[in-house]
Structure 1
Amino acid sequence: MHLPLRSAVLTAAMFTVHLTTPTLAQAEARHVHQAAPPPLLRAAVADLAVATESREGYKRTSFRHWVDADGDGCSARAEVLIAEAIDPPTVGPKCALTGGVWYSYYDDAVVDSASGLDVDHLVPLAEAWDSGASAWDGTKREAYANYLDAPEHLVAVTARSNRQKADKDPAEWLPIEQVRCRYISDWVAVKRHWQLSVDAAEKAKLVEIAEGCPNAPLGRAT
């Protein structure tokens, strides 16, 4: 005997729903592939690999930097200055910046001229080289030197503080005390993202400072 039309339609609809509803195993598989949350600071510090550093063969020109990757006329350096301004500058022809105000968190300084700022690689190019970038190809080193996808990677700071820092790691130089937790969290985030090692003194200093900091998740560079 044939089912009434309404019953047949309902049966077909139920069958379709049964076929398209994901199984528990499929749902769990999708969950596994979601991005993991950032690690907490102290666990991230503990997880850093320790290795002996070597600056052999380093040249700053090994990292091609301040490129205009998106072709909008502004170099990576200018992109950082525009993004980090607390009072936006006027962007003129050839990405010339006039006006604007910036806050340099390394030394708690307000700067009202782009010419008074450096854009710092938070983990310096030489430090990156020492810690593993010497094994990278030129394309990856260029990507590192111009990386704009995480705000902690490139930072607009006073030229004075950047020159004081130079190529030093946290065992050798730190910003003012009030922002050291932020600084080491960002340092660890960059090192994790690029799978760079730390030396023994650097690791010991990071552990020491992290013990006095909120055990908060790292930033977006992880």
Structure 2
Amino acid sequence: MAIARAELAALTIAPPHSLDGYARDKSDIWSTQPDGSTTRQDVLARDGKNVQDEPDHCQPVFGTWYSVYDDTSVTDVAKATIDHMVPLAEGWRSGADTWSAGQRKAFGNNLKDPQLLIASESANSSKSDSGPADWKPTNHAFWCTYAKDYTHIKSVWKLTTTDKEKPALSSMLDTCTNPNGPLGIALRSPASASVKWAAITARVAAGAISGYLPRCGGRGSTRRRVIGGSLPPGL
């Protein structure tokens, strides 16, 4: 909680930049990840339950996905949309308009931080490219985590905030009165999955494992197989 407050306090307040020149395509979303799957496929596999792939492919076709924004579950993979915690347009308004193409691609396909999460079609449509000054999850139990993760993304990527967004985030952080959420409910968050994913990619980069490739045709509970190495317990 102290970290979130510190990150929020450090965010620079600035007028939003113009959306002139903005296009989602400039973030090259759902590009191919080092494991050979697309970003969307990896998020579906990472955050789903009992996920099964199309035979001989990395595309999930069956499973259950939890949309924490509205506390609903989705069983049709076509309706399990992937949301950017900090919308791409909001990122552009907050400083991404000055980034290189590589930086925007990294932001749009970020599996390291809690930037990508499952959302139902209705929740994703409702949120659109709005930030917390104009939109909040209907699931109030998620407000604490939402504010923490949103603030963290802006902090990590050195994005600005506005004089309306900053107090909105602060008021949502006020709901963090219980480690399991304001209603005492343990929440599923993309953060824990992202931490696990970051640990794996770090070990690949360090040469501890030579590859981390999709086990297509039915991930089961492990979802991935390690090539040329081993993962520590818990990964």
> What is the CA-CA distance between 1:91 and the residue it aligns to?
4.5
Task: Please state whether the residue corresponding to 1:144 is helix, strand or coil.
Answer: helix
Higher deviation after alignment, 204-213 or 137-146? 204-213
Task: Please state whether the residue corresponding to 1:101 is helix, strand or coil.
Answer: strand
- Structure 1: unaligned runs, 5 residues or longer: 1-37
Contact 1:131/1:196 (8 A) holds in 2? yes
**Residue 199 of structure 1 corresponds to which residue in structure 2?**
162
Aligned length: 180
Q: Distance in 2 between matches of 1:212 and 1:116?
A: 30
- Structure 2: unaligned runs, 5 residues or longer: 180-190, 196-235
**Residue 89 of structure 1 corresponds to which residue in structure 2?**
52
Question: How do 1:21-36 and structure 2 match up within 5 A?
Answer: none
Task: Please state whether the residue corresponding to 2:141 is helix, strand or coil.
Answer: helix
Alpha carbons of structure 1 residues 215 and 198: separation in structure 2 relative to 1, 3 Å: farther
> What is the CA-CA distance between 1:89 and the residue it aligns to?
2.4
Over the aligned positions, Cα root-mean-square deviation in angstroms equals 2.0
Q: Kindly indicate which of the two structures has a greater share of residues assigned to helix.
A: 1
Contact 1:42/1:211 (8 A) holds in 2? no
Return the TM-score normalized by structure 1: 0.75
Alpha carbons of structure 1 residues 215 and 187: separation in structure 2 relative to 1, 3 Å: farther
> What is the CA-CA distance between 1:164 and the residue it aligns to?
0.5
Alpha carbons of structure 1 residues 69 and 212: separation in structure 2 relative to 1, 3 Å: closer
**Residue 142 of structure 2 corresponds to which residue in structure 1?**
179
Contact 2:70/2:123 (8 A) holds in 1? yes
> What is the CA-CA distance between 1:58 and the residue it aligns to?
1.3
**Residue 52 of structure 1 corresponds to which residue in structure 2?**
15
**Residue 10 of structure 1 corresponds to which residue in structure 2?**
none
**Residue 29 of structure 1 corresponds to which residue in structure 2?**
none
Q: Distance in 2 between matches of 1:71 and 1:99?
A: 20
Alpha carbons of structure 1 residues 145 and 200: separation in structure 2 relative to 1, 3 Å: same
Q: Distance in 2 between matches of 1:161 and 1:43?
A: 29
CA shift digits 1:58-93 (9 cap, x unpaired): 122221111113152x21011000000122223433
Contact 2:132/2:169 (8 A) holds in 1? yes
**Residue 30 of structure 2 corresponds to which residue in structure 1?**
66
Structure 1 position 161 matched with structure 2 position 99: no
Alpha carbons of structure 1 residues 125 and 87: separation in structure 2 relative to 1, 3 Å: same
The higher radius of gyration belongs to 1
Question: How do 1:112-191 and structure 2 match up within 5 A?
Answer: 112-150=75-113, 152-175=114-137, 176-191=139-154
Q: Distance in 2 between matches of 1:166 and 1:138?
A: 23
Structure 1 position 104 matched with structure 2 position 67: yes
Contact 2:83/2:118 (8 A) holds in 1? yes
Q: Kindly indicate which of the two structures has a greater share of residues assigned to strand.
A: 2
**Residue 184 of structure 2 corresponds to which residue in structure 1?**
none
